[in-house]
Structure 1
Amino acid sequence: MRIVLLLLLLTFSKSLVAQNFYGFKNQRDIILSFGTGTTTYFGDLKDNGDYIDPKLNLNVGLQYFFHPNISGRAELSYFRISGDDKDSDFEGKNLRNLSFRSDNIEFNVSAVIHAFPKGIKFYQRPTINPYAFVGIGALYFNPKAQVPATDWNGNPLPDAGKYIALQPLQTEGKSYNKLAIVIPFGAGFKYKLNPFLNLGLEGGYRLTFTDYLDDVSTVYKDHNSFGEDYLAQAMADRRHELSPPKSPLGLKTDQKRGNPDNNDGYFMLSIKIEYYLPPTFLSSHKNKRGKGRYKRAKRR
């Protein structure tokens, strides 16, 4: 699917080259980008060194050059991450038996430093230009997990198999914020396809200020503290799903559930198409309306 999309974009780029030569007589300072790629999560439900479970990301952005080598960029991204103790190579994680998935939205602004200056005119830019970036952003995340078939007492749970949000359940006794600050940084390069289009490849890591992307951070919550909320109890401690079931070690509040010493993070690898917007794109609608009034007046 991604190959087909790339071929369509390249075909479209040929038609852009044939547009009115007026575009060359004016500087194009604003760049629109679209991208897709993969996102890899790093946290308590992922083994160290495991990079084999990437998930889809989509992004759109606007970029403006303030200096021949430096531009500012604003970007909006959607991506999914997930983790499952069943996939771990460590028995201790297998016995914990936790899992999650999360659909996320990130907005960031970054400074992009290019190796070579962009040129006096946009079409005079280098054919290949490496770059690095660093910025700040905001992330919305919402970890979910599937409802178990039964609770700790063996009673069936409603909506078994359905994904539900974990944050309202306070699985560790904490109501964390689903908005987090992130620090994006990374590098990439862009290749000049034609005067109006670039093809780019970019990789960037996100430092986050939360350890709850996966709803796992500290210790088990006391089973008795859930009261009659058997759903929350079963979602917080899923060892009863194992065969044979494990004893509820979570009866004590000091039993380790996650590692609070390291915040969660994620890595995004994206292929991007960049398009240099026409200098009149913001006023094109206004110009068309003016031309229409002129034509009507002429007929009179």
Structure 2
Amino acid sequence: MLIPRQYPKYFLLSLLLVTGCLFTGRVAAQNELQYVGELGISIGGAHYFGDLNTRGALNALKPSIGVYYRKYMNDYVGVRAHARFMQLGYSDAYNKNEFERRRNLSFNTNVFELALQGDFNFFRFEPGSQFYRFSPYLTGGASIFHFNPYAYLDGVKYYLQPQRTEGQGTALYPDRKPYSLVSYAFLIGGGFKYNISRKVNIGLEALYRFTRTDYLDDVSTTYAGIAAFPPLPNGKSTVAGLLQDRSYVTGDPLGVPGRQRGNSRDKDQFVTIELTLSILFTSYNCKF
């Protein structure tokens, strides 16, 4: 039989146990699983619009692949860093306009891009939720990219910027400077994303670039004329002389000095259409 003075010891032990349980429950309530960001890949196609594709045709889609990290600010807003490798290219052979077909210019280029974007969800997007796992979104931002257009002549690949095909830096055109192979662009686009599990999102995105260069395709102003490209000692045309005006393949040469070769009023543009797949990152944060 217990004596009365032993009761406080058991009462104190019980109080400690109850307090511990309450404290544990409170900590569990205060800590909430949150999605902080996602690491993903994008894969799809890229297409160019510019002096060789003036009608906005989508008939020369080339591959695009990227990797990105998106930081969640809340259920509606995210900030993303996205690195991409793309290929762009076009040919006058695709054009229906007679002058453009006769011009017979073409190019390809690899593009390396680093973009910073802000994403805004139309709907509340909460991965892991039964009701908030899908949303269309808008995205916008800016990017810096490197390009280097090239073309083939008799099966040999030549980079076009060193050829100075519009007379850049020649004695006849000292005011025309060689263009930079690094430029930037303003981005705008949108897409859809869907959370398929607590750890994975999928999506589809279209992103349009308004670039600040008119030389993605190495075409911008007027023909410099063959006089800007002196022949070789044996009298044959140089590579630059042959690449600056390739209309000799389709008939009489068009490259009269001052004749329009491109449209310098408008900058070149390009778009990507990509599928996205991402892995989600979570953390436990104190709610109160």
Instruction: Return the TM-score normalized by structure 2.
Output: 0.78
Residue 279 of structure 2 is aligned with which of 275, 278, 284?
275
Give the Cα separation in 1 of the matches to 2:186 and 2:103. 30
Question: Amino acid of the residue matched to residue 51 of structure 1?
Answer: L
Q: Which residue of 1 aligns with 2:260?
A: 256
Give the Cα separation in 2 of the matches to 1:52 and 1:85. 12
Deviation at 1:118, TM superposition (A): 3.5
Cα deviation per residue 1:212-266 (whole Å; 9 max; x = unaligned)?
A: 1100011011311212361101011112222xx414x4342x1110011111101
Residue 187 of structure 1 is aligned with which of 175, 186, 190?
190
In structure 2, runs of 5+ residues without a counterpart are: 1-30, 169-177, 233-237
DSSP-derived class of the 1:213 partner: coil
Whether 1:224 and 2:227 are equivalent positions in the alignment is yes
Give the Cα separation in 2 of the matches to 1:118 and 1:240. 58
Deviation at 1:53, TM superposition (A): 2.0
**Whose strand fraction is larger, Structure 1's or Structure 2's?**
2
Q: Which residue of 1 aligns with 2:15?
A: none
Give the Cα separation in 2 of the matches to 1:47 and 1:259. 9
Deviation at 1:71, TM superposition (A): 0.7
Matched-pair contact (CA < 8 Å) for 2:136–2:191: yes
DSSP-derived class of the 1:250 partner: coil
Whether 1:107 and 2:114 are equivalent positions in the alignment is yes
Residue 213 of structure 1 is aligned with which of 199, 213, 216?
216
Cα deviation per residue 1:39-65 (whole Å; 9 max; x = unaligned)?
A: 111011114041122111101100001
Matched-pair contact (CA < 8 Å) for 2:165–2:243: yes
Matched-pair contact (CA < 8 Å) for 2:125–2:134: no
Deviation at 1:91, TM superposition (A): 0.9
Q: Which residue of 2 aligns with 1:169?
A: 163
Give the Cα separation in 1 of the matches to 2:125 and 2:207. 22
Q: Which residue of 2 aligns with 1:246?
A: 252
Cα deviation per residue 1:131-179 (whole Å; 9 max; x = unaligned)?
A: 10110110111110002xxxxxxxxxxxx31221101111112310111
Give the Cα separation in 2 of the matches to 1:137 and 1:49. 22
Matched-pair contact (CA < 8 Å) for 1:114–1:130: yes
Aligned residues: 239
Question: Amino acid of the residue matched to residue 157 of structure 2?
Answer: Y
DSSP-derived class of the 1:172 partner: coil
Deviation at 1:87, TM superposition (A): 1.6
Equivalent residues in 2 for 1:84-99, closer than 5 Å? 84-99=91-106
Greater radius of gyration (CA): 2
Range with bigger deviation, 220-229 or 80-89:
220-229
Matched-pair contact (CA < 8 Å) for 2:133–2:194: yes
Residue 234 of structure 1 is aligned with which of 223, 236, 242?
242
Q: CA RMSD in A?
A: 1.9
Q: Which residue of 2 aligns with 1:62?
A: 69
Q: Which residue of 1 aligns with 2:27?
A: none
Matched-pair contact (CA < 8 Å) for 1:224–1:251: no
Instruction: Return the TM-score normalized by structure 1.
Output: 0.75
Question: Amino acid of the residue matched to residue 247 of structure 2?
Answer: R
Give the Cα separation in 1 of the matches to 2:140 and 2:276. 18
Question: Amino acid of the residue matched to residue 163 of structure 1?
Answer: K
In structure 1, runs of 5+ residues without a counterpart are: 1-23, 148-159, 281-300
Cα deviation per residue 1:93-135 (whole Å; 9 max; x = unaligned)?
A: 111010111111111001101112334xx42372211110110
Give the Cα separation in 1 of the matches to 2:89 and 2:56. 16
